[in-house]
A and B are shown apart, each in its own frame.
Chain A
Amino acid sequence: MKVMNLVQAINDALDLKLREDRGVLVYGEDVGVEGGVFRVTEGLQVKHGAERVFDSPLAESGIVGTALGMAITGMKPVVEMQFDGFVYPAMNQILSHVGRFRNRTRGKYSVPMVIRIPYGGGINALEHHSESPEAYFGHTPGLKVVIPSTPYDAKGLLIAAIEDPDPVIYLEPKRIYRAIKQEVPEEKFTIPIGKAKILSPGEHITVIAYGAMIREVQRAMVMAREKGIQVELIDLRTIWPIDRDTIRQSVQKTGRALIVTEAPKSYGPAAELISCINEEAFLSLEAPPTRLTGFDTVIPLPLGEKYYVITPDRILAEIEKLVNY
């Protein structure tokens, strides 16, 4: 065991897979010499060589499109989009090809690649550096989408993503990159894709969140507990496919559900989760499943972000509303 933050855990997973599998390549903008703008790939080029860990020209469609080409030959490219807002030029490749090649060729070719994207707000960044684009990927057939919230999960999910025979979008909650430290095994382990995790059991209400929102919910839970409210917190971990079983069992028990996401409200992941709850646990509901999400606005620049980011107080207010419904 070694104490790691998310950045170190992701780096450790990449290092491990680069060591273990010659087919793994890591590239993107500034990932080589610089080690990435968040230092996630720091030291990897020195260890594994510039043929396997390298800077590509600055073109996201090019990065994803070439990675697809490598992947269908059996390589395992792990590419980085420098920021959430920079993935958009690659959307044609992701939507039109990455998620479709296996189906289009009836399984002759598969696309075992990973696209890593730091995402989310709360870091006082410029425009295009604070987006939550997970709904676009969750809505796209052929992809899997995962988001870790702890260093342990970050390592286990990334190894699972690299070993998955299908393309995985791996979103990294940059706001908590260095905020959370945890003991992480140095050896190899995986977290299964498609499985949520109950972080703390509770009987009054289910809260479903992921990524950087987990920490905010946990802060709200401390206050809720003082008021006698026991929250069951589910870390979704995989955005698609959704772990219906864990959600069903929890909401059947608590009868109440709150979804917390940073992503904009309409047509977002929270809407999907509420549909899932309605389909799976309708007769157990004591209150309407509710979402606390970002607004249907552009995420504001840093001085306005305080209105947009979801705080523990707002989460607590929603929890109380639902418990007292």
Chain B
Amino acid sequence: MFDHKTLNKYKAIENKMYQVLDNEGKVILKDWKPDLSNAEIVQAYKDLLFERTVDLMAVSYQRQGRMFTYPPNLGQEAIHIAAGKVIRMEDWLVPAFRELGAWLAKGVSLWEIFLYFKGNEEGSKFINAPRMLPIAVPIASQLLHATGIAYAMKYNKENSAVFGFVGDGGTSEGDFHEALNFAAVWNAPVVFVIQNNQFAISVPLKMQTKSINLAVKGLAYDVPSVLVDGNDFFAMHDVLSYARKQALESGTPFLIEARTYRQGAHTTSDDPTRYRSKEEEEEWALKDPVQRLKGYLVRQGLWNPGQEDELIAGFKKAIDAEFEKAENFREYELDSVFDYMYHDLPDELKKQKNEYQNYLKLAKGGVK
């Protein structure tokens, strides 16, 4: 349970971090009770395992040459699964590009994600995920979209919040600051979540900012801000729930710094051994989000680790089936290059498309 009093206790300016579980999964807060039923917590753990399994398999598909560049989520799953539990269908999810579990909870299909990273825009349509934006590659630019959506939600008197994600590097971008400032001035219900995974590709946080932490960046804009253990499912769930509630009740933004660690590479194109030490990786491995929730469940007698292998084997089958669906997706046609640029294809683009089609007819042998 996280409330106004807790918020006052965990002052970002004093660098206090909200944390529920220790590394072994023991509850360290006095009088703390989970907001979720035991069955829901077990499900959350399964979701964590599922995201991790997807992620490891995605990297292996990429290594096999069956998919292009992919940004792994390894180590950051607690943030995503907690967000997935808090974000409702009527809320908007504005992702950066490393929130896999939250996307799935919003209704994104796994085959779409694979299709996208295989290089097809059809994979960012997210047909069963209303109010979910596509991934945003230009860093922090998406947060302004979140603020604009929130203004529209408030204007239309909709009872829904907007969740906008960004990484630690993104807090150096102007759009991050503009988005917080606009949201504060407009009283727009946006929950900003910074996934501070310590690195922007190879650049460590200390090269990014002199601030004591990233949460304090919200304070100057009068945005309530809190630093949270991002590897702690319960801590994330508590704070996200509170942030959503307060966004809806007072129509104001909220900033969360979720402190975590990217256990994998930035994307499959980079090699983290060039810029970080083994000792650091080992230190963070002790705080692994999946192990911590597992520790809690085992302690409570809610989980038998013996059942895990079978569960993961089942996941793998399902994931492979989704990947196959992506592999068997219809071929990328020329029409798809042109037809979505405008509502009605302008004559200029019709002409360019026709010219190419005529070339194809003459070339006969197909696209060369």
Instruction: Write the residues of chain A forming the contact surface with B, with a CB cutoff of 8 angstroms.
Output: 25, 51, 56-57, 59, 61-62, 64-75, 77, 89, 92-93, 96-97, 101-110, 141-142, 144, 164-166, 194, 240-242, 244
Contacts and interface: CB of A to CB of B under 8 A. Distances in A.
Given A62-B178, A103-B121, A69 B147 contact: yes
Given A69-B150, A104-B124, 13 more contacts: A25-B155, A57-B181, A62-B175, A66-B144, A75-B152, A75-B155, A92-B138, A93-B141, A102-B343, A105-B134, A165-B343, A194-B347, A244-B347
Contact of A62 (B144, B155, B156, B340): B144
B178 A57 contact: yes
Q: Please provide the 4 A-B residue pairs with the shortest distance between their CB atoms, ordered closest to farther.
A: A69-B148, A65-B144, A66-B148, A62-B178
A105 B124 contact: yes
Contacts of B121: 103-106
A70 B127 CA distance: 20
A89 B175 CA distance: 10
A304 to B, nearest CB: 32
Given A106-B121, A244-B348, A70 B152 contact: yes
A64 B182 CA distance: 12
B341 interface: yes
Interface of B: 121-122, 124-127, 133-134, 136, 138, 141, 143-153, 155-156, 174-175, 178-179, 181-182, 185, 336, 340-344, 346-349, 351
Contacts, number: 135
B104 to A, nearest CB: 18
A108 B125 contact: yes
Contacts of B146: 69
Contact of B126 (A51, A59, A73, A108): A108
A27 to B, nearest CB: 9
B134 A104 contact: yes
Contact of A142 (B147, B153, B341): B341
Given A102-B340, A105-B134, A241 B175 contact: no
B191 to A, nearest CB: 14
A166 B146 CA distance: 20
B343 A110 contact: yes
Given A72-B149, A102-B343, A61 B178 contact: yes
Contacts of B150: 69
A72 to B, nearest CB: 7
Contacts of A142: 341-342
A142 B341 CA distance: 5
Contacts of A103: 121, 340-341
B347 A67 contact: no
A66 B147 contact: yes
B175 A69 contact: no
Nearest to B145: A69
A65 B141 contact: yes
Nearest to A242: B348
B132 to A, nearest CB: 9
Contacts of A62: 144, 147, 175, 178-179, 181-182
Identify which of B126, B144, B179 gathers the most chain A CB atoms within 10 Å of its CB: B144
A92 B141 contact: yes
Contact of B148 (A57, A65, A92, A104): A65
Contacts of A56: 182, 185
A241 B178 contact: no
A319 B233 CA distance: 74
A65 B134 contact: no
Nearest to A99: B341
Nearest to B130: A108
A287 B185 CA distance: 59
Contacts of A51: 155
A75 B153 CA distance: 10
B145 A65 contact: yes
Given A70-B152, A72-B149, A93-B141, A141 B341 contact: yes
Contacts of B347: 194, 241, 244
A57 B151 contact: no
B340 A66 contact: no
Contacts of A105: 121, 124-126, 133-134
Contact of B151 (A70, A89, A166): A70
A96 B138 contact: yes
A92 B173 CA distance: 12
Nearest to B122: A106
B144 A93 contact: yes
Contacts of A67: 148
A107 B134 CA distance: 12
Contacts of B349: 241
Contact of B141 (A57, A96, A106, A110): A96
A109 B131 CA distance: 10
A303 B152 CA distance: 46
A257 to B, nearest CB: 19
12 contacts: A57-B182, A59-B178, A61-B144, A66-B182, A67-B148, A69-B144, A69-B152, A72-B149, A75-B155, A106-B122, A164-B343, A241-B346
Nearest to A66: B148
B182 A59 contact: yes
B147 to A, nearest CB: 5
B138 A57 contact: no
Residue of A77, A97, A108, A194 with highest tally of chain B CB at under 10 A: A108
A69 B151 contact: yes
A228 to B, nearest CB: 36
A243 to B, nearest CB: 9
Nearest to B94: A69
Nearest to A64: B144
A77 B186 CA distance: 15
A93 to B, nearest CB: 6
Given A59-B181, A62-B178, A69-B146, A106 B346 contact: no
Nearest to B182: A62
Contacts of A165: 342-344
